[in-house]
Chains A and B, each alone.
Chain A
Amino acid sequence: MTEAVLKVENLQTHFFTKAGVVKSVDDVSFEVGRGKIMGLVGESGSGKSVSGFSIMGLVDHPGRVVGGRILFHGRDLVGLPDEEMRKIRGRRIAMIFQDPMMTLNPVLRIDTQMIETIQAHEKVDRETARQRSRDALGQVGIPSPDERLMAYPHQFSGGMRQRVVIALALAVNPKLVIADEPTTALDVTIQAQILYQMQKLVAEQHMGLIWVTHDLSVVAGLADELCVMYAGRIVERGPVGRLIDAPIHPYTKGLIGSVPSRNPRGQPLTQIPGMAPTPIDLPAGCPFRPRCARASDICRTTPETAEHLPGRFARCFHPHLEDAA
């Protein structure tokens, strides 16, 4: 792998609520290389979004990053002063949110929202910033960008809005983009367009991209590497093709088995028994233990991340190595 844009080491983000401490992100490590796409997959509540917000330094009260390091080009972002972090946010690391209907401020025109972003990071006059905004809109395939700059968000369709958001995020040439389920709220055809656009931009601009999603089928054709999260931990990490063809963690296997398109017709979909645990009282040891067919007594202790096969990491005592080897 080429030099890493981002290296997350043992990240821990906890929420201190009245009901107790919620370990939303617990000992998570991964890295993203230049021009690479890393898929972060998990169910809602697995901590994938919180991981993204932790990198951005935007964890809301009562949450806090309590441990680990977030190395961005070798510089640790954890504990950085607010003003330093603000300069990185948006400039070096951009974020795209899930619902394009909600991410743009409804009472501000598009040009206001784009120009303010550029001007927050670079000392350029309004006209230059406007030019660049227009170019950015054109780049993501928005027709007649000059007119559209003067419009309000509600005058765009969902897909167009997400393009605006992407244009906004990319207008300042970030080195890393965190996309938090950016296509979930969109129609399938538009999803495909956005995916294509993102892939193209990553390749052109040599940036790293973290694609957070609950939908394996979306990242399968997009990412270079996958991290599968369950209950605040990364349970499996590996190159996308091999991981999907032959998952080694029982949870990943269950997840892939429940995707319709990957199963032969006529065969029943497999289902993971039980419910995802509530993050407040996780079972001791491996959190997947109560739902796992392979669980044994040893699973009552926490498994460490281990490289079971070359490039294939998993937190499991009983990995599915038989198909993968």
Chain B
Amino acid sequence: MSASQTEPLAAAPAPAKKAISPWRRLLSAFFESKLAVVGLVGLVLIILAALFAPLLAPQNPYDLTQIDIMDSKLPPGAESYTGMIYVLGTDGQGRDMLSGILYGLRISLIVGVLSGFFALLIGTSMGLSAAYFGGRVETLIMRLVDLQLSFPAILVALILLAILGRGVDKVILALIVVQWAYYARASRGAALVERRKEYIESARSLALSTPRIIFRHLLPNCLPPVIVIGTVQVANAIALEATLSFLGIGLPVTEPSLGLLISNGFNYLLSGRYWISFFPGLALLLTIIAINLVGDQLRDILNPRLQR
């Protein structure tokens, strides 16, 4: 015990909340921050918008019969001669920006979530194996993790894509390679703490199979840090994919994610046609902020050290 005088305060609210299940408690803790709720609502809206893009978008931006080159580079709010209003303007090919953004959001989210999911799967398995088996396996995995993490994600992705070439699958692969180490490190750290606890010992003495101990006993207890990393990483993956696509080494032009839309607008920026890259960027920014707000709050409520 330290000489801290806040100690009576920490104990105070505890007894009142004894009966509530941990999930309920976490949930109510999450909703304590207005900012986090705003983030969550925003995120849900963004996901819905991306899911239902074909229904929501005024046009299918990749159906050439629906776009008109005569309508190119129109500012926000302009009207085409057919009477259609381009709320966010049009791009260099005369595509409605709003439609382009909705479709682009879809691609960005899919790439981000897919790569995040596989990275989580691979990374967590590696981390848990490292913690459970120890010894050489652990040394090998952790050396790999250290090596990976000592180089910035963008550099690793850049090199991989330089080697692999362009394509959705290649971008996802690069993003997985870039991300898995974070999950591995976090899950190993949590598992090492858990491993020393008695219930793992007793599970072992019951001669439960190794995978069973890892996945039924270790994994659930390592989830909190993994979840926190997961949210942050999906945001990072989306941003990284956009960056790579912007640089021209990410997704091919046939899969126009937000990054590619922004990149297209770059050419028009200097002539003052800001909207072509501004609005896709705004969509990207809002998505990332929403995820980060949720992630921030998750980290606060799942972190035992910061519980107030």
Residues of A within 8 A of B (CB): 15, 17, 19, 22, 24, 44-45, 47, 49-50, 53, 59-60, 63, 97-99, 102, 180-181, 278-280
Q: How far is the CA of A270 from the CA of B12 in the complex (A)?
A: 27
Contacts of B7 in A (CB 8 A): 44-45, 49
Bound CA–CA A279/B164 (angstroms)? 64
Does chain A have a CB within 8 A of B15? yes
- B6-43, CB < 8 A from A: 6-9, 11-13, 15
The residue that A98 contacts in the complex, of B2, B6, B12, with Cβ under 8 A, is B2
A181 touches B12 (CB 8 A): no
Complex: chain A residue closest to B5, CB-CB: A50
Contact check, A60 vs B3: say whether CB atoms are below 8 A apart: no
A99 touching B15 by the CB < 8 A rule? Answer: no
Docked-complex contact A44 and B1, CB < 8 angstroms: yes
Q: Which of B's residues lie within 8 Å of A, judged by CB?
A: 1-3, 5-9, 11-13, 15
With both beta carbons as reference points, the residue of chain A lying nearest to B12 in the complex is identified as: A280
Complex Cα gap A17–B8 (Å):
11
Contacts of A49 in B (CB 8 A): 3, 5, 7
Q: Which residues in B have their C-beta under 8 angstroms from that of A44?
A: 1, 7-8
- Interface of chain B, main secondary structure: loop
Which B residues are in CB contact (< 8 Å) with A99? Answer: 1-3
B191 smallest CB distance to A (angstroms):
29
Tell me whether A17 and B3 are in contact (CB under 8 A). Answer: no
- Residues of the A chain whose Cβ atoms lie less than 8 Å from the Cβ of B3: 49, 97-99, 102, 180-181
A45–B8 touching, CB < 8 Å: yes
- Are the C-beta atoms of A17 and B9 separated by less than 8 Å? yes
Residues from chain B with Cβ under 8 Å of A280 in the complex: 12-13
Complex alpha-carbon distance, A72 and B50, angstroms: 69
Q: Which residues of A contact B15 (CB under 8 A)?
A: 278
Using Cβ atoms and an 8 Å threshold, which residues of chain A touch B11? 45, 278
Contact between chains at B8 and A279 (CB < 8 Å)? yes
Least distance between A170 CB and chain B CB atoms (Å): 18
Closest 6 CB pairs of A and B: A45-B8, A280-B12, A98-B3, A97-B3, A279-B8, A50-B5
10 A-B contacts (beta carbon < 8 Å): A15-B9, A17-B9, A17-B12, A19-B13, A22-B12, A53-B5, A98-B1, A102-B2, A181-B3, A279-B9
Residue of B whose beta carbon sits closest to that of A46: B8
C-alpha gap A19/B12 in the complex (Å): 8
Question: Which residue among B6, B8, B12 has the maximum number of chain A CB atoms within 10 Å of its CB?
Answer: B8
Give every chain B residue within 8 A of A47 (Cβ-Cβ): 8
Q: What B residues does A60 contact at CB under 8 A?
A: 5-6
Beyond A63-B5, A98-B2: 12 further Cβ-contacts under 8 Å? A15-B9, A19-B13, A22-B12, A45-B8, A45-B11, A47-B8, A49-B3, A49-B5, A53-B5, A60-B6, A99-B3, A181-B3
Using Cβ atoms and an 8 Å threshold, which residues of chain B touch A97? 3
How far does the alpha carbon of A15 sit from the alpha carbon of B11 in the complex, in Å?
A: 13
**Residues in A neighbouring B1, C-beta threshold 8 A:** 44, 98-99
CB distance from A259 to the nearest CB of B (A): 20
What's the least CB distance linking A58 to chain B, in Å?
A: 9
- Min CB distance A182 to B, Å, is 10
Inter-chain contact B12/A24, CB cutoff 8 Å: no
Q: Which of A102, A180, A278 contacts B12 (CB 8 A)?
A: A278
Nearest Cβ in chain B — how far from A206, in angstroms?
26
Question: Do B8 and A22 touch (CB < 8 A)?
Answer: yes
Q: How far is the CA of A49 from the CA of B3 in the complex (A)?
A: 7
Q: How far is the CA of A47 from the CA of B9 in the complex (A)?
A: 11
Specify the chain A residue showing the minimal Cβ separation from B6: A60
Closest chain B residue, CB of each to CB of A58: B5
For the complex, give the distance between the alpha carbons of A17 and B7 in Å: 13
CA distance A53 to B11 in the complex (A): 19
Per the bound structure, the CA–CA distance linking A63 and B4 in Å amounts to 12
From residue A249, how far is it (CB to closest CB) to chain B in Å? 21
* Least distance between B16 CB and chain A CB atoms (Å): 8
CB distance from A203 to the nearest CB of B (A): 26
A161 smallest CB distance to B (angstroms): 14
**In chain A, what residue has the closest Cβ to B14?**
A278
- Residue from B3, B7, B15 with most neighbouring chain A CB atoms (10 Å): B3
Which residues of B sit under 8 angstroms from A22, Cβ to Cβ?
A: 8-9, 12
- Knowing A98-B1, A181-B3 are in contact, say whether A24-B8 is a contact too (CB < 8 A): yes
> Complex formed: what's the CA distance from A22 to B10 in Å?
11
Nearest-neighbour CB distance to chain A for B27, whole angstroms, equals 18
Across the interface, name the chain B residue whose C-beta is closest to A180: B3
* Interchain CA distance A148-B208 in the complex, whole Å: 55
